[in-house]
Every structure is written in structure tokens, then in C-alpha cells.
Structure 1
């Protein structure tokens, strides 16, 4: 259900609101259960993290605050004070803590607030560290996903090949074929 292609869970969390510039963006966190699923699928926690409607509201508020900070970083602008305060306040609360199980396997259980604190701390670490320089937004117009470009030479253009890279390449191919077809068609003279 959820997608994890951005190089950092906090950026994948931003991707739970897709196509932000569309008239009607696609919301992936539509219920407390979808938030629970995101926590589990992201690897942030193992097992279930029962969430309620207020947890979902807190999660979407945190997501949008982090997005404002990331967008400001991409634009080279200063941070929105309210967004900064929300991220920092959330990061101050206890985060999810991994525990070692009997057979040496790591297991992480957390409350929704602890999971959100972990996301806020990742945002602080990312935006306050050297990887902030690797942030990029997908070049497909309909996509607003932000990712870390760790490619050789920093030339990655899309959040992922599927679907964004494939769609851009297919559109470029169709445009080339139309141009070639026009060039190959005989020119009619008007008399």
C-alpha cells in the first residue's frame, strides 16, 4: 500500500500525501489503520501500533510541518516558525526505542507519539546534517515526492523509475516518434 523509495523514512512519510500540486492530492493516510500500517511497513516499529483519530491528526500535522521545512530547504528559504516549533516539540518527546529480544533479534514497539517523535528526530537529523544537500524533488510535474539523490554525480531526476521515470521516458519517446513522423511525411504544396 505505502511506498518507500526516497532514501529516508521521513521523506517516505512526506510521500503519504501524493501529487501535492494537483487540484485534489492523493491522501494515503486516510484512517488510523493506514497510519498503523505505515508505521509497520516503514520498519519504524514491529507489530501493531494502535492509532486513533487524534494520532492521525497529529501525524498529518507533523507531515505538513516537515514538508514546509523540506520545501524551504529546497528553495533556500528560511523556515516557517510554526512548522519548526512543531517538529522540534515532537522531537523532544520520547521516541521509539529498539529492544533486543531473546534470540538476538531487534524489536521496536512504540506508541503513536513515540513513532511520530522518531519521524521528527529523523527530520531534524536530515535537515540539520550533510544529507540536506542531497534533497531533490521529483522532476515529473505531477509528482511532488522529495528524495535523497545519492546517485553518482547527483544526476538522479526522479523519485523512482516506477512510475515517474517510466512515465517521463515514455512521454519523451512518444514525442520523438511524433516529431519523426511529421518529418517523414511528404509536404503538400498548395496550388
Structure 2
């Protein structure tokens, strides 16, 4: 699963240090307002592959736009759950459980590049809901086991990105220094001038 600080100007970025948060970060702030990085089923497929949560098989079946619609629906749900949990509310879990019920997976033992044995969970991803099941599982893991004092929204006043602060001192303030941290430094510098 992608949890590294991968950034490019185009995005979406994998900077949240948690896959479900990276999933909701596929909507971000831009000069003209909120920008959605997903415009097609292909965009969602690419995100799933880049995140390490699945490469959709040739048997994948969906009407055009169906994967995009389901991904946007799940993204809104995960954002709602994170906001509820962060504010101290008990999250509404029924819809998440509906996504989790779609998961069909099995374990497989493989060897890695060095020949060491490893267990890998493989998902059946032949429909949009099944394709998104690994994301729902990441959201369930976050909601149930995440330390929400370390789940934060970027402190830049216009940024809407979330992250899981895994730094040693737990003082991370920005979604990314390259995206918002430097903007804040420049703004402070200009204010002093």
C-alpha cells in the first residue's frame, strides 16, 4: 500500500501515510476551488494500482462511469466517517459495512525478490464494489484502530487534505512541505517584509 510521500504537480498525491486518507485526498484545494483528480473510471483504476490496493483484472465488469461513481460515493463516506470520528462522534457504520460485505479475498503464500516467504491477500475485483473493497477495509482499519489524535487536516487555511502524523515528535502540521508548508513560509516571510 502506498504510504510514501509521493508528490507530483498533477496529483493525486500519496502523502497521507494511510491509504484511506490518500483516497479522500483525491479531492484537493486549487486556486479556483476544490479539484477532483478523478474524471473517469480509468483515473480510479490508476489510483487503485498506484496505491497498491489492486490492479483490476480483465474480468472486471462495469458500465461506463460506474467505478467512478462508486469511488466518489465511497470517498464521501470515508470523509464523513473521519470527520465524525475526529469530532468525537460515533461514526455511522452501516454504509461502510455494506462496502465491506462486498469483499471477497483469499490469502496466498509467495516468495519475495530475495526468496523469503510472504503472505499476500488477493482480492476478487470483478465489479466496482469489489474493486473498492480493499479501500473500505483500509477505512475500517483507520476508524477502528487509528489513533485519531494523529489524524489531522493540513493547517493551511484553504487546504482540505488529511494525513496520519507518523513523525517521531507528532508535530506534522502540513499535508506536505512541498505543497502547503512552503506556501506558509513564503506568506510569513512576505508578512514580515
Q: Same fold (TM over 0.5)?
A: yes
Structure 2 portions without partners, runs of 5+ = 1-10, 114-119
- Tell me the distance in 2 between the aligned counterparts of 1:47 and 1:171: 43
Aligned to 2:6: none
The aligned counterpart of 1:62 is: 74
Cα-Cα RMSD: 2.6
Select the residue among 14, 21, 26 that pairs with 1:16.
26
Alpha-carbon distance change, 115 to 47 in structure 1, aligned in 2, over 3 angstroms? closer
For 2:109 and 2:37, the matched residues in 1 are separated by 32
Compared CA separation, residues 96 and 114, structure 1 to 2 (3 A): farther
The more displaced of 45-54 and 125-134 is: 45-54
Matched, 1:26 2:35: yes
Partner of 1:147: 163
Work out the CA distance in 1 between the residues paired with 2:80 and 2:33.
19
Provide the residue aligned with 1:128 in structure 2.
144
The structural deviation recorded for 1:96 is 5.4
Superposition deviation, residue 18 in structure 1: 1.1
More strand by share: 2
Please list the CA deviations of residues 68-97 of structure 1 after superposition, one character each: whole Å capped at 9, or x if unmatched.
110112222343x4xx32111101222555
Residue-pair matches, total = 172
Change (3 A) 1:118 1:70: same
Mapped to 2, the partners of 1:26 and 1:98 lie a distance apart of 37
Q: In 2 relative to 1, CA 162–5 (structure 1 residues): closer, same or farther, beyond 3 Å? A: same
Report the CA distance shift for 1:14/1:128 in structure 2 as closer, same or farther (over 3 A).
same
- The TM-score with structure 1 as length reference comes to 0.78
Find the structure with the greater CA-based Rg.
1
The CA deviation at 1:164 is 0.9
- Show the 5 A alignment for 1:1-191: 1-19=11-29, 24-46=33-55, 52-79=64-91, 81=92, 84-95=93-104, 99=108, 104=112, 110-111=125-126, 112-176=128-192, 178=193
**Alignment TM-score, normalising by the size of structure 2:** 0.77
C-alpha deviations, 1:99-121, integer Å up to 9, x for none? 456x6566956333233111111
Structure having the higher helix fraction is 1
